[in-house]
Amino acid sequence: MRRLREAFWAWGDIWLRSHWRVQRHCVTGRARLLDPAGKVVCSGEPEDCIARARALAPSAGRRRAAVVLHGLWDYPGVMRKLARALEAQGWAVANLGYPSLRLNVVAHAAAASLAARALAEDSGAEIDFVGYSLGGLVARTAMARAAAEGWRPGKLVLIGSPAQGSAFAKRFRDVPGYRTVTGACGPDVTPEGAAAVPPPVAKDVLVIAGGTGGRGFNPLLRGDNDGLIAVAETRLPGYETGFRLVRSIHKDLPAQPATIAACTGFLEG
């Protein structure tokens, strides 16, 4: 129920530090500052809320930082185990919430880039990204903005992300109701949409895919798959510097111990 409710959520994070966060409403453009307990401290223009956040939020005191992005129809809780594992290893983490059904990948990437810049201002570090499913496409688009927006991209982990687009999306994109189900990002997860996503601008790229090591979980998909995304659809030939297959269906992939271990190990290396 929480996932369904927050999928239609209109607020998206644009600034995070030490569990303080500034959110912007995707319709009105107004912003609000939330303290670590989720209490609204102030509301108004985004610039004013960010200025107040900078004054109130303590430094995370970390030399490493990462933006973590959930997928379509998801919310930050889906990435909580992974985010906490990174924090335990010494990262300042922005586990970003974004209205996945309301805006397209480019708009989500702009917000993720603002969050990355906030982390960079605090730590001075390169900013790593971890993107699950649709979040991987958002991460790639955000990292392509780094040079223009004044922060340095680090490593990138893609978890069950349709790097080459989804065959399911291609099959059903013309079916009535497709856009209702997939929202503004529906076109972005088709093969044509994914082809328009910038290639990774990152020091290293790890691809983590779900599957069985055999025929996959879904017989309607070609080759090994996690039930929704084929392993072949996650691959980035010429860009990935590491690959890991985890036995898991798509929705469970971010919280799998093997996924978390692969992610933290790769970013530590």
pLDDT at 127: 97
For the chain, the farthest-separated pair of C-alpha atoms sits apart, in whole angstroms, at 54
Query: What is the reported pLDDT for 178?
Result: 66
The reported pLDDT for the residue numbered 152 is 96
pLDDT digits (tens, 9 = 90+) for 212-268: 999 999 998 999 999 999 999 999 999 999 999 999 999 999 999 999 999 999 999
Q: Is residue 189 part of a domain?
A: yes
pLDDT at 4: 47
The pLDDT value recorded for residue 2 is 52
Q: How far is CA 170 from CA 59, 158, 193, 213, 217, in A?
A: 45, 21, 10, 24, 19
pLDDT beyond 60 at 118: yes
Nearest to 193 by CA among 243, 136, 240: 136
As for how many domains the chain has, the answer is 1
Structural domain harbouring 177: 60-268
What is the CATH classification number for the domain harbouring 186? 3.40.50.1820
Model confidence at 197: pLDDT above 70: yes
29 found inside a domain: no
Under the phi-then-psi rule, with left for phi > 0, alpha for psi from -120 to 50, and beta for the rest, what region is 126?
A: beta
**∠ Cα 184 94 151 (to 5°):** 90
205-211 and 11-17: which strand pairing? Answer: unpaired
Q: Is the dihedral of CA 193, 195, 199, 200 positive or negative?
A: positive
pLDDT of residue 119: 95
| 122-161 pLDDT, tens digit each | 988 899 999 999 999 999 999 999 999 999 999 999 999 9
Sequence-distant (≥ 6) Cβ neighbours of residue 192 within 8 angstroms: 165
Query: Does the structure show a pLDDT above 80 at 179?
Result: no
Share of the chain above pLDDT 70, in %: 96
